[in-house]
Structure 1
Amino acid sequence: MEVLRGRVHFFPFLTHSTYFSIRARASFKVQQENDPFFQAAIERASLRFRESHSPDPLLIDPYVGCLLPCNSLEDMDQELHPYCLATKFIDDKLLETMQSTDGLKQVVLLTDGLDTRPYRLNWPTSTLVFDICPDKVFRGALQKLQDAGAKIPRGCMSFHVPSESFDVENILCSKGFSGTRPSIWAFQN
């Protein structure tokens, strides 16, 4: 991790949560099932779901179940996947850095649209979470998360920025991001 021009940067890896899992299932539209970006997002969400339901979970994602189509839960092996280890490291590093860095109130997540970090992590009060992700995937996920009762922690705010935009920087700024204040950015592939 290093600080460059008031911004905290680190290489992504993940965190542990103590929430209970919501086992609701949802199906997304058929056109998304043929989208390779959506399929990759479903695969990553399935890994988080499997880890959350393993006998000794490294992380617990209480909301991921509502994002998965029923057929994605077949053949659940209990082997720890490197993606889950990375998720745990990134989660821990985000929260640790937020707690230990004065004035750090901005988090920018570059996600696949099915990332539940804005809802499942216990962000410090006044944290602004900016989720840069595919708009089509985000819109479907947002409705499913709201239906499952997922909420941003009290005193925090979350903003979606469509990754398809050619002007992400201006959209970020229009939603309240300030390049003159410290921020932490995370990307997990």
Structure 2
Amino acid sequence: MDDGTTSRFSAGVALTALLVAAERAIETRRPEGLIEDPYAEFFVRAAETPVPLPVSPDEVEGGAADPVWGRGQQYFALRTRVFDDFLQDCAHRDGIRQLVLLGAGLDTRALRLDWPVGCVVYEVDRSDLFAFKQDVLGAMGVRPAVGDHQVVADLESNWARRLRAAGFDPVRPTAWVIEGVIPYLPAPVERGLLATVSALSVPGSAIAYEILHAQDTAKIRENSLYGQTKQKMGVHLSGLFSDDTRPDSARALAETGWEVSEEPVHRFTEQYGRGPVPGVDDPIAYARWVLGRRTHRLYEG
């Protein structure tokens, strides 16, 4: 790392973590913003990226008309708020004290959300992202008030073993968030990931994750929302997606004792009064956010 506070994000999924951090920084600067993430801007400014990333609405030339930093930013801001509220409901309303963020990236929920006493957050991701994150937050003198365990693991490997070694208790209800991860995974890995989550979840657990229907089609991959990401952030976002036909993971969860809803993004735009508007035929129209609660356990062979 350069001088202990910078890192080169040159390609791949790691760069998408910076993209989402930039989107959160922009939303934080909006008077009507859905979220407040005071750390996101520092991540973006500390990183070396192929193309400079904006951190405020004033730095986006096209405003709301920009596919990446306009409509795309609305999507990421809304997704962050929906998943924030999901976790807060799990902790405050349902009494869940064990929360796991799979593919946590540069997420700062352990720092910026209001957690009841006794909550423990487990973040699972790669060592390079955690090292960068810790350098930036350490330079700011920031420490989470909640128990926060960073678990270094690849979601395509035996991450569950490392999660349990870090203190995760599979007999306690857990809230799981898998945000901005599944579209990049091969279909067999997606199936295995969610099967493992289900096997580790007792009744009373909850899950939230994101899927993108038809992500393997040219219609989705070549849309301008993704096509301009190469110019605006240095990597073609849809080029990182798995081209596998996606499994029906929500149905698989339902078959093992989960009550699952698969919601279009525009439903949440209506609920929150802000977000990507419907009627545009782009990838956002095909995105679904899956929310589930485990009511009982069936045999999971």
TM class by shorter-chain length? Answer: 0.7 to 0.9
What corresponds to 1:55 in structure 2? 31
State the alpha-carbon separation in 1 of the partners of residues 41 and 103 from structure 2: 17
State the alpha-carbon separation in 2 of the partners of residues 54 and 139 from structure 1: 29
Alignment counterpart, residue 73 of structure 1, candidates 54, 58, 75: 54
Alignment counterpart, residue 91 of structure 1, candidates 72, 75, 84: 84
State the alpha-carbon separation in 1 of the partners of residues 102 and 42 from structure 2: 21
Q: Name the aligned partner's letter for residue 53 of structure 2.
A: S
What TM-score results when the alignment is normalised by the length of structure 2? 0.49
What corresponds to 1:29 in structure 2? 7
Q: Name the aligned partner's letter for residue 128 of structure 1.
A: V
State the alpha-carbon separation in 2 of the partners of residues 141 and 131 from structure 1: 12
Alignment counterpart, residue 140 of structure 1, candidates 132, 137, 144: 132
SS at match of 1:108: strand
- Higher RCO structure (Cα 8 Å, ≥6 apart): 1
Kindly provide the CA deviation profile for residues 77-102 of structure 1, in whole angstroms up to 9, marking residues without a partner as x: 46451111011011011111111223
What corresponds to 2:75 in structure 1? 82
Q: Structure 1 residue 112: deviation in Å?
A: 4.5
> Higher helix fraction: Structure 1 or Structure 2?
2
Aligned residues: 159
State the alpha-carbon separation in 2 of the partners of residues 151 and 62 from structure 1: 13
Worse-matched range after superposition: 115-124 or 73-82: 73-82
State the alpha-carbon separation in 2 of the partners of residues 35 and 118 from structure 1: 27
Q: Structure 1 residue 27: deviation in Å?
A: 6.4
Q: Structure 1 residue 150: deviation in Å?
A: 2.4
What corresponds to 1:172 in structure 2? 163
Q: For the Cα contact (< 8 Å) 1:49–1:61, is it kept in 2? A: yes
Worse-matched range after superposition: 71-80 or 158-167: 71-80
After superposition, the CA RMSD in angstroms is 2.1
State the alpha-carbon separation in 1 of the partners of residues 104 and 5 from structure 2: 17
State the alpha-carbon separation in 2 of the partners of residues 112 and 72 from structure 1: 20
SS at match of 2:53: helix
State the alpha-carbon separation in 1 of the partners of residues 153 and 135 from structure 2: 19
In terms of Rg, which structure is larger? 2
Q: For the Cα contact (< 8 Å) 1:27–1:69, is it kept in 2? A: no
State the alpha-carbon separation in 2 of the partners of residues 111 and 123 from structure 1: 20
State the alpha-carbon separation in 2 of the partners of residues 34 and 112 from structure 1: 19
